[in-house]
Amino acid sequence: MNQEKQQDRKRVVILGAGYGGVITAQGLSKLANKLHIDITLVNKHNYHQMVTKLHEPAGGHLDGDEVRIPLSKLIDDNVKLVKGVVSRINPEEQKVLLEDQELAYDYLVIGLGSDPEYFGIPGLKENSYPLRSLNAARLIKVQIESCLAKYKTDECKDGLLNFVIGGAGFTGVELAGELGEWLPKVAPKYDVPLDKIRLICAEAAPTVMPGFDEELSKKTAEILQNKGVELKLGVPIKEVTADYVQIGEEQIPSKMVIWTGGVRGNTVLEDSGFSTQRGRANINEKLQSINYDNVFIIGDSSIFLDENGRGLPPTAQIAMQQGEHLVKNLEKYLTGKEMDAFTFVNRGVVASIGPSDAVGMVFGKYRIEGKIAVWMKKVVHYRYLYIFGGLPLVVRGLMGNLPKVNLKENYTTQNG
């Protein structure tokens, strides 16, 4: 390619290889020549992680390589991969600052996901574990084991066996279900009697999975309680210290609080001057930043208002649909056509509650639970693998043989 031609090409930079970012990169990759664009995908890790499955490695159920896929296996060679953490976006100068380099763009896609929201609860941020990444999930698992081991050696045992999950939304419920099944398996490895262990799930709202179907929410609470989870509903966490958690009027000694009770948009957006709502950037119906025409923001990083003016929740399903839609819109935008408004098609949700139970609501109105819900959860997972990597990835997923991440993988060699 001669230099003149290269200068004609527009630079599209995609930030984040989450559910939305990967779909966008894959779609644009196929259109790169047609649209005369050079595509760069920036991600903290050299792998995509399945954030919706992180409760499984946290509960010792899945290995790390089962909840991530190397980006080099998902993204074609005509997309330049950059491993780095975005520290700031400068939309005026059309630049993205990473820790050790600067990337200039003509068009920017932001899919940087979310950060935990601590609602200003004293000590919560400093003394709780988030479940936002594979590394965080692994830390939760090993810290629980550390508490079990310390219970047998430390003189002060206060709170070492009280494990508290803050928040009973989808993440909290799925994690509680997972830990409810794992703790009876792992405790004997440390000679810890199960009846000394408390697994508490605290939620400020009066039900688990607030906002979800009432009947299924009740059913979920029942399943969790049968797994030994103590539910504390309608009581807010008021304070967390290194030694205890204050839930409503009750002070519970604990060395291990996992916070799943809230998310906000990735703080980089707010810090970079985008107009945001709880950290999620405001966008128009075409997924375009309301501040900058050449910036598109999808997934948890933005807040999309539906026809009733309500913000869509931060879910993988929405991020993926937005990624698909954005590819079409960018094609139109870059060829001077009118972009379409995004509409979310709710395909339903399924929450797993431990490896062997689940509840869900599908096709907008059908409640499912038990085996059929567990099966549906698998369908959702394989559908995701299909979208990401076609039949080959589904087959590898079914065989428990997803491509392994090579941490030393050097992008510059492979992807130029």
Query: CB of residue 52 vs a second copy: minimum separation in angstroms?
Result: 19
Binding stretches for a second copy (CB under 8 A):
64, 133, 135-136, 138-139, 141-143, 145-146, 148-150, 152-153, 189-191, 193, 405, 407-408
Query: CB of residue 209 vs a second copy: minimum separation in angstroms?
Result: 27
φ/ψ region of 23 (left if φ > 0, alpha if ψ in -120 to 50, else beta) reads alpha
The one catalytic residue in 174, 181, 270, 369 is 174
Residue from 413, 415, 405, 411 nearest 70 by CA: 405
Query: CB of residue 141 vs a second copy: minimum separation in angstroms?
Result: 8
Q: Distance (Å, rounded) from C-alpha 296 to C-alpha 318? A: 15
Q: Distance (Å, rounded) from C-alpha 413 to C-alpha 416? A: 6
Query: CB of residue 26 vs a second copy: minimum separation in angstroms?
Result: 24
Residues 110 and 86: beta-carbon distance below 8 Å: no
Nearer of residues 256 and 385 to a second copy, judged by Cβ: 256
Residues 300 and 321: beta-carbon distance below 8 Å: no
- Buried residues in 57-72 as b, exposed as e (16+ CB within 10 A): bbbbbbeebbbbbbbb
Residue from 63, 298, 317, 65 nearest 170 by CA: 317
Is 174 among the residues known to form the active site?
yes
Question: Which tokens sit at 141?
Answer: 């698992």
Q: Distance (Å, rounded) from C-alpha 416 to C-alpha 410? A: 10
Query: CB of residue 318 vs a second copy: minimum separation in angstroms?
Result: 27
Q: Residue 361: helix, strand or coil by DSSP?
A: strand
Nearer of residues 134 and 330 to a second copy, judged by Cβ: 134
For residue 306, the tally of other CB atoms under 10 A from its CB is 12
Query: CB of residue 136 vs a second copy: minimum separation in angstroms?
Result: 6
Query: CB of residue 413 vs a second copy: minimum separation in angstroms?
Result: 18
Q: Distance (Å, rounded) from C-alpha 240 to C-alpha 237? A: 8
Nearer of residues 187 and 281 to a second copy, judged by Cβ: 187
Nearer of residues 75 and 131 to a second copy, judged by Cβ: 131
Question: Which tokens sit at 369?
Answer: 């639970």
- 42 forms beta bridges with 15, 82
Nearer of residues 99 and 307 to a second copy, judged by Cβ: 99
Residues 48 and 71: beta-carbon distance below 8 Å: yes
- Buried residues in 134-158 as b, exposed as e (16+ CB within 10 A): bebbbbbbebbeebbeebeeeeeee
Nearer of residues 143 and 315 to a second copy, judged by Cβ: 143
Question: Which tokens sit at 38?
Answer: 């050079």
Nearer of residues 141 and 219 to a second copy, judged by Cβ: 141
Q: Distance (Å, rounded) from C-alpha 416 to C-alpha 412? A: 5
Cite the active site residues: 174
